[in-house]
Chain A
Amino acid sequence: MSIMVEPDGSGRFGQFGGRFVPETLVPACQELEAGFREAWADPAFRAELDHLLRTYAGRPSILTECNNLGRQLGIRLLLKREDLNHTGSHKINNVLGQALLAKRMGKKRIVAETGAGQHGVASATAAALLGLECKVYMGAVDMERQALNVFRMRLLGAQVEPAMSGSRTLKDAVNEAMRDWVATVESTHYCLGSVMGPHPYPWMVRQFHRVIGDEAREQCREATGDDPDVVVACVGGGSNAIGIFSGFIDTKARLVGVEPAGGAAVGRGVPGVVHGMKSYLMQDEHGQVQEAHSISAGLDYPGVGPEHSYLAELGRAEYPAVTDDEVIAGFSLLAKTEGIIPALECAHALAWIAREAPNMAGQTVLMNLSGRGDKDVAQMMDILK
């Protein structure tokens, strides 16, 4: 039996997950769960989503073999090219699903949080396409380091609101989005950007990203005649990782989710409850959530989606961390050897592959290239000069 199934009735993956939200939001979470369950089982909804994914987002995304870098590292390296999706990352898969669902449920407005801005841009895009009002909360620090995406969101007609509290990064943007939702829940859908938050989000968002893994498994068999030995993805909340893992959970492939050293929820956290879920969380002895510190705004988060905590506890997936310096090297490495500029988030996965390659000699390694690096070029210009 697969271990990646629907969570139990309380939204648990093992001991993790659940629905730790204010009473005000409980009915909305219950309605969303019922609405998603019904839509996901409806061929008409699936066909509509599939149509958008193909004709708007550009799916299926291709698989690219990195011959130069593979040779250099002594492995066979395949990239799942989520960077080539419309809006430049995997985030669009989830957002198109949730935006269609929001419309189906009669909502007129979506709110979203964003770290690097990719989920915010995807949300603003879907809102423009489907005629929804859209407000995106973004940490004030992230608005500075991802200024290009702030402009893109505004260009797409979304309102971008700075989160001024705490560390002024992704965690605080989630707080603000939840506060907005508590006040507007009757007209508004919270378009959460990763496999985190209260039930049904971790499950629903995973289902919307399964397409990455399902496609990759086919493509991998076509390209190599077999499943890969290792599947690698970066982990912020964990949506691109869970998406690709879901295609290989039943294979023998080693599953690796790479966290930033400054935001290593699985590596350095202990179980805790924040943002509606029980999961590994970086916190102090009294349960105060610690601020994450990462070069990449998209991974600068002290928690992680509950299903990753479950996979870690089971030992089915592993969650090593890489440092900012390794990430910078990984970023340049892919650009120079393959002519692909990765997002700083997925440069984490590359950094781990580069470090571990000697222990994987001759193996086939599939990496989820979750986004393109255009948004990071300005930041890297400062760092690399």
Chain B
Amino acid sequence: MTGLEAHLRARRDEGRKLLVPYVTGGLTNWKEGIRAAVAAGADAVEVGIPFSDPVMDGPVIQDASQRALEAGATPPGILAEIPTIDVQVPIVVMLYYNTVFRTGHERFASLCSNNGVSGAIVPDLPLEESGHWCEVADAAGIETVMLAAPTAPDERLPRIAARARGFVYAVGLLGITGERDALANTATAIAGRVKAVTDKPVLVGVGVSNAAQAREACRVADGVIQGASVVRRLMESGPDAVGDYIAEVRAAIDEK
């Protein structure tokens, strides 16, 4: 498979908006949820590796993480299952830094590449702390996505974009993951600020909560990440509901 960035760029450059759902690994039917999402038009998938103390996550993903951990999910266990998902889009893992640190940078990077993972998102590893992991990940062919937050001053954004591989994750609001009634103004603002300094794909995540909001974010961004809205449907209704939802978002962002 081509790399994450190459894959996303190629699709973007064809005029397609990018849709990346997030699913907590180890949750009941998580792999079925991913397959349904890809069949419905996801361009890549984020697999969340559950952590005991997810400080960037709101109630839905906290609950999902807790359930997955109680069901016995472990990082190596989830990684080992990734090749069995068998989808034709890149898979990115999203996880907190202690999982990487405890496993060891080299060992974690090779666990990822041996299991067909294309990229990694580590939300509590900001630019200044990311140097060594990024080098190790680069060497192993794991593309480390960097986050750009609304609070970042202008001078910081080019440095974040330069270090980012795969895509740049524009954080849509000040706050944690979870569904909101409206798209925050910060979502398109940060996407625009990041796009002004990089040609890499720029996706907005955190607080993009439904098809209409995804469409609104995509006026500026190259695509969106759908986290809590997907995980909630998987927990409440199962994989088919995830497929239906992703199809709905797909249609909304494809509409000219």
Asked, given contacts A22-B123, A27-B151, A184-B174, whether A287 binds B99 with beta carbons under 8 Å apart, the answer is yes
**Which residues 264-299 of A sit at the B interface, judged by CB distance below 8 A?**
270-276, 278, 281, 283, 285-289
| A372 within 8 A of partner (CB) | no
Instruction: Give the contacting residue for B151; candidates A24, A179, A271, A285; CB below 8 A.
Output: A24
Size range of the chain A interface in the assembly: 35 or more
Contact partner, B53, options A18, A22, A26, A274, Cβ 8 Å: A274
Query: Do A22 and B147 touch across chains, with their CB atoms under 8 A apart?
Result: yes
Whether the Cβ atoms of B103 and A287 lie closer than 8 Å is: yes
Interface string of A191-232 (1 = CB under 8 A from B): 000000000000000000000000000000000000000000
| CB-contact partner of B174 in A20, A24, A274, under 8 A | A24
Residue with the highest number of chain B CB atoms closer than 10 Å, among A26, A28, A175, A289: A26
Would you call A91 an interface residue if the criterion is a C-beta within 8 Å of the partner chain's C-beta atoms?
no
A152-181 to B contact mask, C-beta < 8 Å, 1/0 = 000000000000011000010001001100
Pick from B101, B129, B173, B176: contact of A287, CB under 8 Å: B101
Rounded to whole Å, the gap between the CB of A183 and the closest CB of chain B is: 4
Q: Is B252 interfacial (CB 8 A cutoff)?
A: no
Select one of B75, B101, B146, B173 contacting A272, CB under 8 A.
B101
Q: Is the CB of B101 within 8 A of A273?
A: yes
- Chain A residues within 8 Å of B156, by CB: 26-27
- For A184, list chain B residues within 8 Å (CB): 174
Question: Does B126 sit within 8 A of A, measured CB to CB?
Answer: yes
A179 CB contact (under 8 Å) in B98, B152, B160, B176: B176
Contact A286 B151 (CB under 8 A): no
B152 interface neighbour in A23, A182, A276, Cβ under 8 Å: A23
User: Which residues does chain A contribute within 8 Å of B55, judged by CB atoms?
Assistant: 22, 175, 178-179, 182, 275
Q: Say yes or no: is B110 at the interface (Cβ < 8 Å to chain A).
A: no
* In the complex with contacts A286-B74, A286-B102, A20-B125 CB distance below 8 A: yes
Q: In the complex where A182-B176, A183-B174 touch, is A283 in contact with B98 (Cβ < 8 A)?
A: yes
Cα-based distance from A273 to B101 in the complex (angstroms): 7
- Which residues of A, 287-335, contact B by the 8 Å Cβ criterion? 287-289
Q: Which residues of A contact B153 (CB under 8 A)?
A: 27
A90 at interface by CB-CB < 8 Å: no
Residues of A within 8 A of B175 (CB): 179, 182-183
Check A18 against B129 for contact (C-beta < 8 Å): yes
Does residue B171 face the partner (Cβ distance < 8 Å to A)? yes
Indicate if the CB atoms of A272 and B56 lie closer than 8 Å.
Answer: no
Size of interface on B: residues with Cβ below 8 Å to A: 41
Q: In the complex, how many angstroms separate the beta carbon of A69 from the nearest chain B beta carbon?
A: 40
B76 contact set on A, CB distance < 8 A = 286
Q: Say whether A20 contacts B97, CB under 8 Å.
A: yes
| B244 CB → nearest A CB, Å | 30
Interface centre among A28, A171, A184, A289 (most CB of B within 10 A): A289
Is A27 in contact with B152, judged by CB distance below 8 angstroms? yes
Is B66 located at the chain interface by the 8 A CB criterion? Answer: yes
Contact: B126 with A19, CB < 8 Å?
A: yes
- Interface residues in A1-51 by Cβ distance below 8 A to B read 10, 18-28
**In the assembled complex, how far is the CB of residue B209 from the closest CB belonging to chain A, in whole angstroms?**
15
How many angstroms from the CA of A272 to the CA of B126 in the assembled complex?
A: 16
Q: Which of B52, B101, B127, B176 contacts A26 (CB 8 A)?
A: B127
Closest to A270 in B: B102
Q: Give the CA-CA distance A185 to B171 in the complex, in Å.
A: 14
* Contact indicator B99/A286 (Cβ below 8 Å): yes
Q: Which of A20, A28, A165, A185 makes the CB contact (< 8 A) with B124?
A: A20
Separation of A186 and B174 alpha carbons in the complex (Å): 9
Given A182-B56, A184-B174, the answer on whether A23 and B149 have CB atoms closer than 8 Å is yes
Q: How far is the CA of A95 from the CA of B151 in the complex (A)?
A: 26
Chain B residues within an 8 Å CB radius of A281: 98
Residues of A within 8 A of B53 (CB): 166, 171, 175, 274-275, 289
Judge if B51 is at the interface, Cβ distance under 8 Å.
yes
- Docked Cα-Cα span, A281 to B55, in Å, equals 17
Q: Known: A175-B55, A287-B102. Is A22-B62 also a contact (CB below 8 A)?
A: no
How far, in whole Å, are A270 and B102 apart by their CA atoms in the complex? 9
* Chain A nearest CB, measured from B173 CB (Å): 8
List 15 extra interface pairs beyond A182-B55, A278-B101, A285-B102, CB under 8 A: A22-B123, A23-B127, A26-B128, A26-B149, A26-B152, A175-B53, A179-B175, A179-B176, A183-B176, A274-B53, A275-B53, A286-B74, A286-B99, A287-B102, A288-B52
CB<8 Å pairs between A and B, sample of 25: A20-B125, A20-B129, A22-B147, A22-B171, A23-B126, A26-B128, A27-B151, A27-B156, A166-B66, A175-B53, A179-B175, A182-B176, A183-B175, A272-B98, A278-B101, A283-B98, A285-B102, A286-B74, A286-B75, A286-B99, A286-B102, A286-B103, A287-B75, A287-B101, A289-B98
Q: Which residues of A contact B (CB under 8 A)?
A: 10, 18-28, 165-166, 171, 175, 178-179, 182-186, 270-276, 278, 281, 283, 285-289
Interface pairs A-B: 4 shortest CB-CB? A287-B102, A183-B175, A24-B149, A23-B149
